[in-house]
Structure 1
């Protein structure tokens, strides 16, 4: 079995694959202060009954990348495939500095199986719009994610505090909590709708839209666009990259 690690600033998203499909997934909070052994203890219950033969890592948190490499070497006697300069990804990156492009963006793009123009909207710590066509990444938009928006209000205002991430029943709130929830949920949904319209005007061609990321389930029903949701897109991309390098 192959372990797939998508390391984000908020969550560690892990998949188990037989080499062709993603069999199961689980998430845990990213903690840069944990040792490799502590991370392994957290991961172990999910993989106790499987034989790990390969590991792929896509990470935007260098400290955690180091821990996962040490786990691979110590507990599995494996050298992981890491998304980094020199790794074969199958994705051509048309940006000013391809080395700056995050591993999560590359893995998302590598998860697209067709050559059709596709806009990936990845909702996580940051909201990312990735335009892909013919296995080529043509451009990206990055905006603050919902969690960051809430923390910004909590940290920069005296009377507004951190609230649960959920959609209120109405757009116009009648208490502080529902007002903040409306702003971040419906505000993000509206931002996505407007950004998609601007991207359409710029690329001048029809494209499919794939919604993914940890908050995609919550947001999907509130976005007034024709789109599909694939929560495992980044793991599919990691698997594709692993297979290209093994």
Structure 2
């Protein structure tokens, strides 16, 4: 099986992917807080226990593929692959795992691995022009055309980051949960309700507004694909998403590995 690792700014996601017969069945997924100081030994103890709880021996892992936007975390993940799984990890964006798509932007080298991998997976799963919205530490909007070429996008603060900034900067504001407001009105009658309205409905308004502008600029029918943990939270109150793909990055990593492996 393939161990796909997506190292983001907030969490590192590990997924066990069954690639037999060309399939990409995710058999387990686990996440841990991103800490560049975490050693390969620490990862191994934690992951081995979770694999065992899910009924898997460590020996089922035959290959490892990694995408990371945290360069300092990469070395220890590579050591994890070599020391505990006996394989050299393949790194997204490095040979033999080139992107396999055109990067039609000013600075291709600056594109985050997760965004490129999301584009690859989205294009394989959904034909046509696409907008991929990834709800992570930052919320990113990525545009690709019907050929699969990456055309650019938008980076906005993630909703948790926005809330943290608000609470940190305003001493009297309490910390609240990220959830839909309990009231239907957008006129809050107390501080907590007003914060929920501002954070939740304000974020939905940003999403809908930016998607509208992106669609107008593309000028052709566009599908909107959402991924990331908070996508389902917003799905309840907006019709802007055409599809939700919670494992888009993992699927993209598995596709890249399969392409290199078959080649």
- Give the Cα–Cα distance (whole angstroms) in 1 for the partners of residues 74 and 200 of structure 2: 31
Q: Which residue of 2 aligns with 1:228?
A: 243
TM-score using structure 1 length: 0.94
- Give the Cα–Cα distance (whole angstroms) in 1 for the partners of residues 199 and 237 of structure 2: 12
Between stretches 162-171 and 205-214, larger displacement belongs to 162-171
- Give the Cα–Cα distance (whole angstroms) in 2 for the partners of residues 96 and 117 of structure 1: 20
Q: 4+ runs of 1 displaced by more than 6 Å?
A: none
RMSD: 1.6
- Give the Cα–Cα distance (whole angstroms) in 2 for the partners of residues 36 and 127 of structure 1: 29
Task: Confirm or deny: 8 A CA contact 1:121 1:212 kept in the other structure.
Answer: yes
Alignment of 1:155-234 (within 5 A): 155-170=168-183, 171-234=186-249
Q: Which has the higher contact order (CA 8 A, sep 6+)?
A: 1
Aligned length: 246
Q: Which residue of 2 aligns with 1:139?
A: 152
Q: Is the aligned partner of 1:81 residue 2:90? A: yes
| Unpaired stretches in structure 1, ≥5 consecutive residues | none
Offset, 1:64 = 1.8
Offset, 1:226 = 4.8
Q: Which residue of 1 aligns with 2:161?
A: 148
Offset, 1:240 = 0.9
Task: Confirm or deny: 8 A CA contact 1:90 1:135 kept in the other structure.
Answer: no
Alignment of 1:83-122 (within 5 A): 83-86=92-95, 87-112=97-122, 113=124, 114-122=126-134
Could you say which structure has the larger radius of gyration? 2
Q: Deviations over 1:173-230 (max 9, x none)?
A: 3333332222222111111100111011111001111111121111111223252111
Task: Confirm or deny: 8 A CA contact 1:190 1:223 kept in the other structure.
Answer: no
Task: Confirm or deny: 8 A CA contact 1:89 1:244 kept in the other structure.
Answer: no
